[in-house]
Structure 1
């Protein structure tokens, strides 16, 4: 029976995916932060501008109530 270690070495092919996973994670975090900022901006728009955009205050409240990870 082979000895087990706390940190088994990963095969070489899985190590190549780490930069991709890191890039994907950073893109996801950037998207979430951008969505958060967009919702903050949307909450500050007045009713006149909302009418120009074709939105109602209820639409804005519904959108701003979502969590940052929800599209």
Structure 2
């Protein structure tokens, strides 16, 4: 398994654009820290969307969110931003 730095060096050595190289290398190597942050972000999405779906019309109005906007956001899967 290559480290992220090794991956970057190998791809840059053959002349690929840096943005494409970073994207390719990041898909191959996912550190435990990155995974932990991703899981935390997904959990936060799930939790806040669930809470949003439980708010009544009065509370939605207080925070400036329409019923349609709340339903749209609450209906998104946790992995989508």
TM over 0.5: yes
State the TM-score, normalized to the length of structure 2: 0.63
State the TM-score, normalized to the length of structure 1: 0.71
1:67 equivalent to 2:62? Answer no
Tell me how many residue pairs correspond in the alignment: 57
Separation in structure 2 between the aligned mates of residue 49 and residue 65 of structure 1, nearest angstrom: 18
Q: Deviations over 1:9-58 (max 9, x none)?
A: x46xx29xxxx711100110111011100000001111011111111110
Given candidates 37, 53, 56, the residue that maps to 1:46 is 56
Higher helix share: 2
Q: Which has the bigger relative contact order, CA under 8 A and spacing at least 6? A: 1
Q: Which residue of 2 aligns with 1:5?
A: none
Separation in structure 2 between the aligned mates of residue 60 and residue 36 of structure 1, nearest angstrom: 14
